[in-house]
Structure 1
Amino acid sequence: MKFQLSIFSILFLTFSQLIQAQEKSDTYSVEFESFQLENGLKVIMHEDHSDPVVAVALTAHVGSAREKEGRTGFAHLFEHLLFLESENLGKGGLDKMSARIGGSGANGSTSRDRTNYYQTVPNDALEKMLWAEADKLGYFINTVTEPVLAKEKQVVKNEKRQGVDNRPYGHDMYVIDRNLYPEGHPYSWQVIGSLEDLQNASLEDVKEFYNKWYTPNNVILTISGDFDPEQARDWVHKYFDEIPRGPEVEKLEKQMVSLEKTKKLYHEDNFAKLPELTLTWPSVYTNHPDSYALQILASYLADGKNAPLYKKLVEEEKLSGRISMFDYESELAGQLMLQVRAYENVDLDQVQQAINEVFSEFAQNGIPQKDLERIKAGLETDFYNQISSVFGKGYQLAQYEIYTGDPNNLNKEVQNLLSVSQQDVMNVFRKYVQDKNYVATSFVPKGSPELALEDSEKAEVVEEKIVEGAEEDFDPSQQASYEKTPSSFDRSIEPPYHGKPETRVPDIWEQNLPSGMKVMGITNKEVPLVRFSLDIKGGQLLEKPDQAGISNLLAEMMTKGTANKTAAELEEAIEMLGASIYVNSEEEKITISGNTLAKNYEQTLELVKEILLQPRWDEEEFKLAKQQILSRLQEQKGDPLQIASNEFNKLIYGEDSILSYNLLGTTESVTNISLNDLKNFYEENLSPLAASFLVVGAIEKDTALKPVRGISANWPPKNIDFPEFSNPELPEQSKIYFYDVPGAKQSIISFGAPALSATDEDFYPAEVMNYRLGGGSFASQLTQELRENKGYTYGIRSRFTQRNYIGPFQISSGVRTNITYEATELIRNILRNYPQSFKPSDLEVTQSYMIKSNARRFETLGAKLNMLQEISDFGYDYDYIKQREKLVEDLSVMQIQELARQYVNPERMYFLIVGDAETQLDKLDQLGFGEPILLNPEE
């Protein structure tokens, strides 16, 4: 179908006004301007001149709820198609242009109710983005051919295998939604769809879908960031005005549901090693008046040490270490979900009995006012985090337009949350949970149906069979032949850049304290938040193999109370400030990090001081922490991705090195660690001489330093002996290693070899070299060949690991099981050819991306904190970004080729595959790397 030429030169609706919620109030708000074109396109603009970047997004009011039964997953499939090509961008579409302009990578997402397409770019590329987005909206459909559709079906089916079919508990939502919603309800099928429906989608389906839903009157365009609104308005008119209005889109009525009876179902999961119970009650649609109280109810019952469900199931009954509860709201209806992953061999009837006891107590006591205020404070901070980037602001404005018809409702969100009362929370509990029917799903390990809830029926789950040669062939090189859609000007000419945004490296202040601790910070007042990180060198590096996981266990214990506060009291004190404090152990450090409202920074740091200097060493909390870690280790045994990670590290570093161990440790080592071992590790290995405090946000240097000085003054310095590690060596020749996961629907691949440390002068040049190989997403050869040309995978990447010691070069992906050999052969060939195939045009694209993308490098508080961490961890200069720009400009093709020969040599590499050995192992010896080595033959 061709569009008729239609030119609009005037606005249909003059609606241009600057909105600011709650005038004359101190409440933070997002200012915006909105207008509508005559063809129905709604445009929302938000100015933010703090960084030279702009986010552009198209949001179509169509998701899986607008699909036809038998064509499920089609909205999501269409999201993929829209990136591939359009009439004037050509093959590769926006993905190809993104690499040249330094964009964040064109991306999209599909929900039940909407599909969005978005990217953040340097502000000189705004006109290019508007030109490209208009081309997708009005000049796309002619480029879709049968081969294009066939290939993209394979990509989406791989995405489903990766996210659903090849992971523990992946089918849970499918079972829940089929039983919660009546047949024919638009939420009764999954957004990702079924493999059968995806395969049956036809070219006629694509065109019908596009013409019905991808019209200006069903789409919102958001522009957020550093731009001139008058100029942007002119460009919007130029590129979007003549796209014709589509048929009127009928608004869907709300379709909340109720259950006539409780339904109990079970499934024996091929990958799950622990039983999991999920209870789901019908609830409300997005922005329903009850939605705010439901959020608070879910948080109170399940989140953290003070939650009644945690106290009952974790502390008292010791049935589980993982509980979550949330209200999953959509445009037409919603569902309140409680999920409990129990310990090994726990009968889920015990879990449900404990849940019922908690609910009975809540019905009597309700939510204490103190807890209500605590939860509200955290939700307010979460809100500010969501809008801390220009993309976040634009995204939220579009969401509120879609779901409420008024973007300004974004500015009422915090007030709606803060106005919830104790009685409101009790009311929604009685209305939606107490004595109400629900869907209960028991997902249990294969062979353990007795762990499911009593009287559960076997759930209907469609399992894909592994069949060699089952996928249809297609020719990805076939060009579409069509008559171009007419326009009033030549749309094939890409607009120019406007200006040249300079990378704005944030100003860094620093201070060395008497204890030896270094402090660095960046002041930024875009949102009233502060983020911080106290990084203490050590972590796994200081462990011994017989105590593997001790630093992780220490990190777990440091938030389990202080000398003055129980674990519950500490958590309450943090949350009352609207703050979060985390303690994590990594390979090279232990980190105490956090996020708080700027006004509560000093009080938050006082709690950090307690956590660091006055641990509680509670015996019961220690037992609980060990039990939870042991449960996670058991759970990981069924996860192909975690198996691949564990086995790859063993190949790289050798089984005798502590670096080959899981950060959690082993079942044996964790079991044997005592509380006294933990105290000794703490005393011996935490010192301000090995610590850096990093802080960014709405705070000045003097204010930031004050509480840090208090930490420093009370933390005695001691010298830490850091062990020397022998560098891992390249294998003499490549070998294939296979870990068998019977029935795996995908093969997880981890190919690589020891490479470089982050302090090596070749590290960043090697990262530049890797951009066109596998580090540049859709700009990379691996993605283009395995995803775009073959449809073998949903995603593939290669990277160099940033460490102070030698880290690996690694290629990782999940490929469909029945082409494991073909994918491995293709990757090997790409690696072999990469040095000689790298051309001047590749260098030009790489240089453009690496330099231009720096304009958006420091936009968020998280990005600024990450920069400080790189400077602290690896000794980089404060202006290392500028230095790297010069390095990239000076690199030659020959240098890139030599780096590729040295660091990505497929003849001296480990090829690890985690998949179904019965169907895939034997033919891998044809690769020429000898007979594959099966890593778990005894299993």
Structure 2
Amino acid sequence: MKTFKFFLLNILFFTVIISCKDNKEPIAQNNNFKVEFEKFTLDNGLQVIFHVDKSDPVVAVALTSHVGSAREIEGRTGFAHLFEHLLFLESENLGKGGLDKMSARIGGSGANGSTSRDRTNYFQTVPKDALEKMIWAEADKLGFFINTVTEPVLAKEKQVVKNEKRQSYDNRPYGHNSYVIGKNLYPKDHPYNWQVIGSLEDLQNATLKDVKEFYNRWYVPNNVTLTIAGDFDPGQAKEWVEKYFGEIKRGKDIPEMEKKPVTLTETKKRYYEDNFARLPQLTLTWPTVYEYHPDAYALEVLGNYLTQGKKAPLYKTLVEQQKLTDEVELYQRSSEIAGEYILQVTAFENTDLTKVYNTINEGFVNFEKKGISQKDLDRIKAGQETNFYNSLSSVLGKGFQLAQYEIFAGDPGFINQDIKNILEVTTSDVMRVYNTYVKGKHYVATSFVPKGMANLALEGSTMAEVAEEKIIEGAEESFDASIAADYEKTPSSFDRSKEPPYGASPDVKVPNVWKETLSSGLKLYGIENSEVPLVQFLMQIKGGMLLEDANKIGVSNVLAQLLTKGTKNKSPEELENAIESLGASVNTYATDQSIIISGNTLTKNYAETVNLIQEILLEPRWDEKEFDLLKQSILSQIEQEKANPNNIASNEFAKLIYGQDHILSHNNIGTKESVERITMEDLKVYYNLNISPSVTNFHVVGDVQATAVKKSLEGINDTWESKEIKFPMVAAPQVPGKSKVYFYDVPGAKQSVINIGYPALAATDKDFYPAEVLNYRLGGGGFASQLTQQLREGKGYTYGIRSSFNGSNFKGPFTISSGVRSNVTFESVDLIKEILNNYGKNFNDEDMEVTKSYLIKSNARAFETLRSKLGMLSDISNYNYPIDYAKLNEKIVKDFTVEEIKNMASSYLDPNKMIYLIVGDAKTQLKKLEQLGFGAPVLLNKQ
């Protein structure tokens, strides 16, 4: 996939209208909430779904093809996912760069896609004036694409997909677990036996003929659903859909996928010594049911009840009683033709997984004795109601919901039946599915353990077979993806080479912000939005790691997490139940510069949720048992991060940017040594000295008025003692006088993680936003950026690369980051250096036009979701930005000149004054980096 993954959330405890203008009366009615749709079918079989939502001047367009890895055959796996990549590159009338290139001009969210076992989708949210352009472009991909694919283009994209596999599977802890499960759960001829990413050997063997045959079979109108959701005129859109899609020829009839559930005749136990794992992980997988099977609903409730929260039987045995782990997961994964039930435990260091397995069974026995109460069933449903509304907070979310039901249930209106199925789950249903699918049933058990620690695997396990490629220097094929394809254009009844014009320019809606300071010093910032009956809030208490003792880094992190582990009058379990019974979620965490309490709740329960926040904030429990569990959990997290190359790169880069003794050089979760030193008294001292309304901002967005917010906070305002908080001076990090290369050795790494940068700007600096403008065409614009175009699209070195300026109230780093194929580490870094050298020199009018077009037009969708509105309030409160800063930034963009970009590039993008950090295999890559001209690389972890 490019970058996105979407899961359909279930819907509970409410009645919702789904109406289809061409259908009969809806099953259920409620005037409080409705999601209307219109569905029609073109003569060629294309299914089209419209949903009108005029709350923001944006529209989401999604094209979903009913083909995933399940439609592939053995020996030709990975094709569906490969196509997801190919369709963004070019089509006959969009030309090179395809939809990615157009997205930058029209201010889109970035054309993206994802592939699953059963479908592939392509989607983007754009300002509403670009709708006709999007319909034209999506039609071009469906009917006018395949002629543009050449041997060099195919060769390049194979490398990109290989890099994705290395990054997502080969170069991370437990990355091969899903592969081992699939091979042992499903027979060899079952479509779910192989992974969506496919096999590297199959990808390498794919021919242009294979690719064209796959496309012509599955990428036809009668196998595709087009969804359009947002602010548009349905009548006009229907004309455009007919014009651009109508003459694309229907394909051969597509057979329905037959349900193919599996039954295991024996339990299979496999183990694997993982090069990147520091902690042992046990996964138990039972075969279950396909998407929308009646039992899937009860299985979801069962998984939630058994593992989530203090009351959960498996949490009690594994976490609280035996202290073998800090978390346990159990969830139903339903796909189109089969499903599985997955229980996963990542245990603490050196834990025998046989003990974990035995403790799981103890938890099951306890559950069998007590079952699930109606009260707990209702609590779980309340949380899922809130989740549903969250899934509808964007037009893209609404579009995805409707397409999901159309493709896998045959009707977008299936939402009504889905609600009914969920509401009909009973406590006896939960026990029944446990007995049917779990108790005494065969399963696949996978034990992933650190290298050399096979003794920790579940007793009776045999070694798993995992196919791993070897990275060989100079072995990759060369190609020139810029060579144009020579073909005869597909005929059309009109000139498709002419890009449609923009529609009427949308009025950019900058949300109305209200502000107030209460008598305690607590500052309020709010945006009222009644699109969905939800309220989201974020309370930010300034301080975080900045106020910690350098010898005990991690105090604020432990404190933040402990706040939700009970209150003076509520045990941890009672507090958890109180929150969940409201259908709310509350998260507490620390950052480098703050402690955060965030929440999400139904409007009707907002006041009660804030009452609980008052308890959490002002009446902490200081529970010693929870404190010990938290410390063990954090120590486990620290151990895990030591094995993840991306975490290693992040931690080491911070040290190099700020210097070893700088407070911001630390990871705010701390080190093994610092966390072990932290006591409960340390938390109390921090709390009493540093937690004050005088340094706190409360941000709230959603379906609640300012008066209701102020009233809800009266208790906090009246009882929270205000005090003066003194912040230490934070030294500005120094820009290096000359570049230096640093290397962190991860023996056998399939990829090298690259971080390049230097201390640049604070978010409050006058040049900060201009620097973001400068960076758009370099590496901030996704597929519109030079870094992506040259390293991914041109060379196939990487799956992704980006650059950014990251400032706060303090000077933060400019960073270029990527993961590249190990055997092109030097070539990648050298190319990045070359791009930086030439960026300002070569920046031209076209670059300026693309930058301005994107940054101005994208404002139409800048504040669509509740989350984006919260981000806006955070920027205003933290950096003292004016309320209309988005409009002011727009003026900055409009006034920018090419000459200013050139001058800024010379000031802020000097590759000879940067820190170069590479995390990878030193044995094969270290020496070559001397060719960069920055001296011998410094090895940071000499053995």
Kindly indicate whether the alpha-carbon contact (under 8 Å) linking 1:82 and 1:140 is maintained by their aligned counterparts in 2.
yes
Distance in 2 (CA, whole Å) between partners of 1:252 and 1:812 is 41
Give yes or no for the alignment of 1:694 onto 2:726: no
Give the drift of 1:304. Answer: 2.0
Contact preservation (8 Å) 1:738, 1:914: yes
Deviation at 1:806, TM superposition (A): 0.4
Opposite residue 527 of structure 2, the aligned amino acid is I
Instruction: Work out the CA distance in 2 between the residues paired with 1:663 and 1:412.
Output: 47
Other-structure match for 2:58: 53
Tell me, in whole angstroms, the C-alpha distance in 2 between the residues paired with 1:20 and 1:590.
50
| Structure 2 counterpart of 1:657, one-letter code | H
> 1:613 and 2:618 equivalent?
yes
1:706 paired residue number: 711
Distance 2:922 2:604 in 1: 57
Where does residue 932 of structure 1 map in the other structure?
937
8 Å contact from structure 1 (residues 742, 917) kept in 2: yes
The answer to whether 1:381 aligns with 2:397 is: no
Matching of residues 462-861 of structure 1 within 5 Å: 462-861=467-866
CA distance in structure 2 between the partners assigned to 1:666 and 1:354 by the alignment: 29
Runs of 4+, deviation exceeding 4 Å: 18-22
Aligned partner of 1:194 among 176, 196, 199? 199
Which residue in the other structure is 1:138 paired with?
143
Is 1:864 aligned to residue 869 of structure 2?
Answer: yes
1:931 deviation in Å?
Answer: 0.2
Please give the alpha-carbon distance, in whole angstroms, between the structure 2 residues aligned to 1:706 and 1:463. 60
Give 3-state SS (helix, strand or coil) of 1:186's partner. coil
2:296 to 276, 288, 291: 291
Contact 2:290 2:337 in 1 (8 A): yes
Secondary structure of residue in 1 paired with 2:326: strand
Match of 1:12 in 2: none
Q: For 2:545 and 2:823, locate their aligned partners in 1 and report how far apart those are by CA, in whole Å.
A: 38
Equivalence for 2:317: 312
**What secondary structure is seen at the aligned counterpart in 2 of 1:873?**
helix
1:5 is matched with none
For residues 921 and 175 of structure 2, the distance between their equivalents in structure 1, rounded to whole angstroms, comes to 18
Match of 2:365 among 354, 360, 366: 360
Instruction: With the length of structure 1 as denominator, give the TM-score of the two structures.
Output: 0.98
Shift in Å, 1:322: 2.3
* Partner residue, 1:349: 354
Q: SS state of the match for residue 265, structure 2?
A: coil
Distance (whole Å) between structure 2 residues aligned to residue 663 and residue 303 of structure 1 = 26
Shift of 1:417: 2.0
2:134 is aligned to 129
**Aligned counterparts of 1:663 and 1:76: Cα–Cα separation in 2:** 37
SS in 2 for 1:32: strand
Shift of 1:22: 4.4
- Counterpart of 1:110 in structure 2 is 115
- 8 Å CA contact 2:316–2:363 kept in 1: the answer is no
User: 2:891 matched to 1:886?
Assistant: yes
Residues 307-332 of structure 1 show CA distances to partners (whole Å, capped at 9, x for unaligned) of 11111101100000121111111000
2:208 to 203, 207, 230: 203
Matching residue's letter, 1:416: N
State the alpha-carbon separation in 2 of the partners of residues 671 and 794 from structure 1. Answer: 38
Which one of the candidate residues 249, 254, 259 is aligned to 2:254? Answer: 249
Give how far 1:27 is off.
Answer: 6.5
CA distance in 1, matches of 2:899, 2:826: 32
Aligned to 1:437: 442
Q: How far is 1:711 from its partner?
A: 1.1
Aligned match of 1:448 in 442, 449, 453? 453
Partner of 1:224: 229
1:229 Cα deviation (Å)? 0.3
Is the Cα–Cα contact under 8 Å of residues 30 and 411 in structure 1 kept in the other structure?
no
**SS of match in other structure, 1:125:** helix
Q: For 2:764 and 2:31, locate their aligned partners in 1 and report how far apart those are by CA, in whole Å.
A: 46
* SS at structure 2 position matched to 1:498: coil
Report if the CA contact (8 A) 1:737-1:933 is conserved.
yes
Question: Counterpart in 2 of 1:10?
Answer: none
Q: How far apart are the structure 2 equivalents of 1:740 and 1:570?
A: 45
| Alpha carbons 1:29, 1:411 under 8 Å: kept | no
Distance in 2 (CA, whole Å) between partners of 1:660 and 1:415 is 53
Q: Give the direction of change, closer, same or farther, for the CA distance of 1:779–1:407 in structure 2 (3 Å limit).
A: same
Q: Which moved more, 1:692-701 or 1:215-224?
A: 692-701
Asked whether the 8 Å contact 2:21–2:37 carries over to 1, the reply is no
Q: Distance in 1 between matches of 2:828 and 2:714?
A: 55
CA distance in 1, matches of 2:555, 2:135: 52
User: Contact conserved, 2:104 with 2:110, CA < 8 A, in 1?
Assistant: yes
Higher mean displacement: 409-418 or 456-465: 409-418
CA gap 1:763/1:106 in 2 versus in 1, 3 angstroms: same
State the SS of the aligned residue for 1:535: strand
Q: Deviation digits for residues 371-395 of structure 1, max 9, x if unmatched?
A: 1111111111111111211000001
Q: What SS is found at the alignment partner of 1:515? A: coil
Q: Is the 8 A contact 1:754 1:808 kept in 2?
A: yes
Aligned match for 1:154, one of 159, 162, 172:
159
Letter matched to residue 699 of structure 1: V
For 2:15, the equivalent position in structure 1 comes to: none
**Residues matched between the structures, number:** 924
CA distance in 2 between partners of 1:416 and 1:713 (Å): 46
Identity %: 63
Q: Does structure 2 conserve the Cα–Cα contact (< 8 Å) formed by 1:19 and 1:33?
A: no
2:741 alignment partner AA = I
CA apart distance, 1:21 = 4.4
1:29-74 deviation line (CA, Å, top 9, x unaligned)? 3110000000000000000000000000100000000001111111
> Counterpart of 2:643 in structure 1: which amino acid?
G
One-letter identity of the residue aligned with 1:225:
G
User: For the residues of structure 1 that align with 2:628 and 2:27, how far apart are their CA atoms?
Assistant: 50
CA–CA distance in 2 between the matches of 1:864 and 1:183? 49
**The one of 144, 156, 163 aligned to 2:168:** 163
Residue 91 of structure 2 corresponds to which residue in structure 1?
86
Structure 1 residues 702-749: Cα deviation after superposition (integer angstroms, max 9, x where no partner): 122211122111111001011111111111110110000001010000
Structure 2 segments unaligned to the other structure (5+ residues) = 1-19
Equivalent pair of 2:546/2:727 in contact (CA under 8 Å): yes
Match in the other structure for 1:213: 218
Which AA in structure 2 matches 1:851? I
The Cα of 1:485 is off from its aligned counterpart by: 0.4
Q: Could you report, residue by residue, the CA deviation over 1:802-847 in whole angstroms, capped at 9, with x for unpaired residues?
A: 3110000000010000000100100000001111011111011000
8 A Cα contact 2:756 2:817, kept in partner? yes
Query: Which secondary structure state, in structure 1, belongs to the residue aligned with residue 363 of structure 2?
Result: helix
Residue 269 of structure 2 corresponds to residue 269 of structure 1: no
Amino acid at match of 2:892: L
Residue deviations 1:66-109 (CA, integer Å, cap 9, x gap): 00111111100011000000000000000000000000000000
- The DSSP-based 3-state class of the residue aligned with 1:256 is coil
Q: CA deviation at 1:476?
A: 1.7
Q: What is the CA–CA distance in structure 2 between the aligned matches of 1:411 and 1:890, rounded to whole Å?
A: 51
Any idea what the Cα deviations from partners look like across 1:155-212, whole Å, max 9, x if unmatched?
A: 0000000000000000000000100001110000000011111111110111001100
Whether the aligned pair in 2 keeps the contact of 1:466 and 1:817 (CA below 8 Å) is: yes
Distance 1:461 1:134 in 2: 40
The one-character-per-residue Cα deviations of 1:889-908 (angstroms, maximum 9, x if unpaired) are 00111111111111121000
> How far apart are the structure 2 equivalents of 1:231 and 1:480?
35
Query: 1:185 corresponds to which letter in structure 2?
Result: H
Q: Secondary structure at the match of 2:913?
A: coil
Shift of 1:20: 7.4
